[in-house]
Amino acid sequence: MHKIIFLSILIMFFSCCGDKNKHVFKTNAEKDFYTDCGGMDYSRFPLIFPYEVMNADFVEKKWIINLKIGYEFYNSIYKVKDIAVSNNMIFAHSTTTNPVIEGRAPLQWFVIIPSKKIEIGFSTEMELLDYVKIFGISKISWKDVNDVSEEFKSSECLPWIPGCSK
């Protein structure tokens, strides 16, 4: 009986995300990035390497994207509510109301283009849509972060992850 319990625990320990995606990644870091679901005190899901959405507050669910370059005093996109990934671009909608600098409108709509090292935030969705028109995008299909997180945990795949697209 003890052996069964021990083996069950062992199986649970090693039954992390990452076994279902059979895509051959270039590096181990990239593979870990696209397959890791989080740890003891945080959950995550990948966007486009090296951008990820993380949450370390299981009670209030404060989803966050740490920016790599930063944009106008923003080093992160905090309280992310919706995200979208298309055309190798990441879109994020935050519900933050922190103006960062007093008197300024908070930036709630972000676009990240990893290949061009672009991270830009806007106060309104209209401004964001105006900007992305130059890339031929007229509409963004937003997805709730909690739904995306659930999808990644259950299927270990997201449409933008290499090896997952149908």
Partner 1 sequence: MKRYNQSAVSMHSINYTYSSGKNQLASIATAGDIVSSAYQYDPVGNLKRDVAENVFTEWNLAGKVKQVRKYDIDIIFSYSPLGLRQSKQFSALSGNTKEWYIHDATGNIMCIYDSLSSNSIICKERPLYGSSRLGIDNKEIIIKSGNWGTLPDTNRFRGYCGYRNFELSNHLGNVLTTFSDRKWGMDDNSDGIVDYYNPVVTSYTDYYPFGYPMPDRNWSGTDYRFGFNGQEKDNEIYGEGKSYTAEFWQYDSRLGRRWNMDMVFTVSISRYGCFFNNPIAYIDPNGNYTRIGAWLRSLFNKDASKIYKSGKSWGFNVLTRGSDGKINGYVSRFGESYKNANSIIDVIYHSLTQIDHINITGNALDRIKKDPDMIRYQNEIVEEAKKIYAKNPTPINISKEPVLITFGGFTNSPLNLFDENTRNVASNELTWITRHSYVYANVEIQKDGTMNISYLLTDRLDLYPSSDRTFSYNAVCLITGAIYHGLLNGKASSITAKWNTTINIK
Chain residues binding partner 1 by CB under 8 A are: 9, 12-17, 28-29, 32, 37-43, 54-59, 61-62, 64, 66, 70, 73-78, 96, 98-102, 149, 153
Give the number of other Cβ atoms within 10 Å of residue 30's Cβ. Answer: 15
Q: How far is the CB of 1 from partner 1 (least distance, A)?
A: 17
Residue placing its CB nearer to partner 1 in the complex, 86 or 144: 144
Q: How far is the CB of 23 from partner 1 (least distance, A)?
A: 18
Q: Which residue has the tokens 């009986």?
A: 1
* Amino acid (1-letter code) at residue 131: Y
Residue placing its CB nearer to partner 1 in the complex, 29 or 126: 29
Give percent helix, percent strand, percent coil of the chain, each to the nearest 5.
25, 30, 45
Q: How far is the CB of 147 from partner 1 (least distance, A)?
A: 13
End-to-end CA distance of the chain: 43
Backbone angles phi, psi at 12, to 5 degrees: -65, -40
Q: How far is the CB of 7 from partner 1 (least distance, A)?
A: 13
